[in-house]
Structure 1
């Protein structure tokens, strides 16, 4: 893959992570990638997401924790932005 594209796309993911959670660390960027991909699959192919969740209950629990973490960070970020 084109390295320039990869860098540009990583910058996009970093900005999404920052705007969504207030954290653009490499770890959060990886979480946001998983969050975004799973969110897309869940919305566009719910049967696939359901089947995968039934087949991989431990991984499904990890995705759930990840969604809760992103949600909580987003709520905290919105709350802090509203107070300023």
Structure 2
């Protein structure tokens, strides 16, 4: 991927993380990337996500924790902005 596109995409992820969670840092950006990719895969190819969940039950649990964390941070951000 060319550097300009990478930089622009990083800016998009930064802003998305900030709008979604009310804050951003490198750790949160990485979590949002993982969450977004997994969410897309689970919606667009459910059998693949199911296979992965069955193949890696420990990763499935870690993903569930990550999703819960993102949801909680998003809820807190929405409540703060109401």
Global fold match (TM > 0.5): yes
RMSD of Structure 2 on Structure 1 (CA): 0.6
Aligned equivalents of 2:55 and 2:26: distance in 1?
A: 29
Query: Tell me, which stretches of 5 or more residues in structure 1 are unaligned?
Result: none
TM-score by length of 2: 0.97
User: Segments of 4+ in structure 1 off by > 4 A?
Assistant: none
Unaligned runs of 5+ in 2: none
TM-score computed with the length of structure 1 as normaliser = 0.94
- Corresponding position of 1:44: 44
Equivalent pairs, count = 82
Q: Tell me which residue corresponds to 1:67.
A: 67
